[in-house]
Chains A and B, each alone.
Chain A
Amino acid sequence: MPENQNQNPEAGLPISKIRAGKVSKYTIPHFVAPLDETPLQGVDAVKETGKPLSMWAEAWRSLRKRPLFIISALLIIVVIAIATIPGLFTSVDPTSCYLEFSNEGPSSGHPMGYNFQGCDVYARAIHGTRASLMVGIFTTIFVVLIGGTIGALAGFYGGWLDTILARLGDIFFALPMVLGAIIVMQLPAFRDNKSVWTVIVTLAIFGWPQVARITRGAVLEARDADFVKASRALGLSRGKSLLKHVIPNAMAPVIVVATVNLGVYIVAEATLSFLGLGLPFEVMSWGNDISSAQSQLRNNPMMLMWPALFLSVTVLSFIMLGDAVRDALDPKSRKGN
């Protein structure tokens, strides 16, 4: 019984029986705390059979309460809805343009006015969402798959693979993304088949080294953790312990970077389209609309502002989401709040 420990074991025994040597003959009255002052029921109440919260569940708990996360998640849901069913948000056909309305301001049913060709700016922005979002999402998926796999293998196994990756990363890092993408978009295979997919592949070519580096760093950190050694000691093969223990524990920084980069890729696509090297002209996208608006900037600045606003709000919501997830996954920053 644990209560016994609180009691004075010397009580009732003559001192000479306890210690040898010269000691004071006076017994010092010991203070014994009353039992009800230490409520052990509270300690005993911890459910030992319950599963502890995983890092993800804990992160989700703190995420749910953050206004930054709620706002950005709502915005992203709206953007995804626009991209999947644009007809839900506008009934105007973005391709039926009337030159008589060229550069006209807003009117009823056309809240953002018309562009130079007399097309409805709002309808074009709504229908342009899909292309921009596809580039962002699929580039991120490719980059995480390629960069994540290579980075995890390099970090876990080390050796020649790691050396090659480090050197290859150096070479790619010396070439800025937009610069490299401009050159690749000029290749015959890319220039003649311009589509959403060629832009995605181009951006993925120059995007993966960054994710590979981050994954490598995270895997290196997790590789030497005690729980990985324990899993190996219990007889798990190297490959299995990489898949089951190292990678799940190295995912956090990769997820944060992927979320933020999704927005960066959307901006990169718009920049390429702006330079005339991105999506083909027929594809409706924010980048193409901004690009065609630049010649009319001094007559009709709003024609540039609206698609730019759509683009910026989308990118902003992904960056905010990444920020919120970073804070939620980082126990250091969570403590203070």
Chain B
Amino acid sequence: MLAFTLKRFLQLIPVFIGATLLVYFLVFATPGDPISALSGGKPMTPAVESALRAQYNLDQPFWVQYGLYLKNLVTLDLGMSFSGQEVRDLLARAFPVTARLAVMALAIEAVFGIFFGVIAGMRKGKAFDSTVLILSLIVIAIPTFVLGFVLQFVVGVKLEWAKPTVSGGATWGELILPAVVLGLVSFAYVLRLTRTSIIENKQADYVRTATAKGLSRGRVINVHILRNSLIPVVTFLGADLGSLMGGAIVTEGIFNVPGVGNLLYRAILKGETPTVVAVVGVLVIVFVLANLIVDMLYALLDPRIRYA
């Protein structure tokens, strides 16, 4: 288990370098001179300009810039944004908000998705199953930003059940509505995956044995069928953490959540290389770590899987 963890951990390194390099290269090639953007497009003296360029390493060639960035990344010095704030501080402020949002979204989609998926799977072909299947397809087909606007309008503005936008503090209560929007599409996927998996497993021999030896229906479903059906669902949830972070750009924009997505979107528009690469770097780490945890969870869910 330890050797496996270590091996997987080492495999993360090329992925991490590749992804940051890709993003660094793309942002590097982006138009707009950040230094002239810094001065608001007004002319400045050559001395000031070259000093600024040197300060942000913009006078160095690409590889040197990237090398310096990686070195700083390892020492946790993420550089400065163009407005003179430490990227580390910006991230430290925005990341907990997005983490809270993503965890809530993940919890919502996992709990409700698995719950309804189990019911639909156990009643394959019945009215409940067909209704849930069609509804989940409709949810998948509606873009997140449309769902966001509609829920914001209906729940926030018309019914006034929740505040339509989030304050600077971004408390758990305020984040419920954005988290529902963020998790809704994945909820439909979790539901469908659980259903398929349950249908596959519910006719297995061990389920018949469990029923035959007199276990209650609840125990058969929860312990025997569900546990064996969870592997594809857990895989999906792990991979979904990454798309939740990406989807946060849209959701955080609609609900004005001061999180990573918001930070990233504004930084991309400004061409702020350090911020963009730092944020994407963190997102890549989160994504890859989530997949590592999923691999570990397999062994818990299914003792037949052993990591030698």
Contacts and interface: CB of A to CB of B under 8 A. Distances in A.
A125 interface: no
B108 interface: no
Nearest to A188: B31
- In this complex, which of A176, A178, A297 has the most chain B Cβ atoms within 10 angstroms of its Cβ? A176
A290 B31 CA distance: 27
A222 B23 CA distance: 36
Contacts of B153: 297-298, 301
A170 B245 contact: no
A182 B23 CA distance: 11
Nearest to B23: A183
Contacts of B276: 183
Given A167-B18, A183-B23, A187-B26, A320 B245 contact: no
Nearest to A315: B141
Contacts of A275: 249-250, 253, 265
Contacts of B16: 174
Interface stretch (B79-87, B144-152, B209-217): B144-152
B27 interface: yes
B169 to A, nearest CB: 25
A49 B104 CA distance: 62
Residues of A contacting B: mostly: helix
Interface stretch (B58-66, B223-231, B283-291): B283-291
A311 interface: yes
Given A174-B19, A174-B288, A176-B242, A182 B265 contact: yes
B149 A316 contact: no
- In this complex, which of A176, A179, A297 has the most chain B Cβ atoms within 10 angstroms of its Cβ? A179
Residues of B contacting A: mostly: helix
Nearest to B243: A176
B283 to A, nearest CB: 7
Contacts of A188: 29-31
B34 interface: no
Interface in A294-323: 294, 297-298, 301, 304-305, 308, 311-313, 315-316, 319-320, 323
A167 B265 contact: no
Interface in B13-53: 14-16, 18-19, 22-23, 26-27, 29-31
Contacts of A297: 149, 153
Interface in B81-117: none
Contact of B287 (A167, A174, A270, A305): A174
B141 A316 contact: yes
Contacts of B271: 186
Interface in A152-210: 167-168, 170-171, 173-179, 182-184, 186-188, 191-192
Interface residues of A, number: 41
A174 B16 CA distance: 8
B293 interface: no
Given A174-B287, A174-B288, A274 B250 contact: yes
A271 interface: yes
A267 interface: yes
A192 B150 CA distance: 33
Interface in B253-308: 253, 264-265, 268-269, 271, 276, 280, 283-284, 287-288
B17 to A, nearest CB: 9
A263 interface: yes
Nearest to A184: B26
B283 A179 contact: yes
Contacts of B138: 312, 316
Given A311-B143, A316-B138, A178 B15 contact: no
Interface of B: 14-16, 18-19, 22-23, 26-27, 29-31, 137-138, 140-146, 149-150, 153, 157, 239, 242-243, 245-247, 249-250, 253, 264-265, 268-269, 271, 276, 280, 283-284, 287-288
Interface of A: 167-168, 170-171, 173-179, 182-184, 186-188, 191-192, 263, 267, 270-271, 274-275, 290, 294, 297-298, 301, 304-305, 308, 311-313, 315-316, 319-320, 323
- Those 10 A-B pairs whose CB atoms lie nearest each other, nearest first: A176-B246, A316-B141, A171-B18, A315-B141, A188-B31, A308-B146, A179-B246, A174-B284, A174-B19, A170-B15
7 contacts: A175-B23, A188-B29, A274-B250, A275-B265, A304-B146, A305-B150, A316-B140
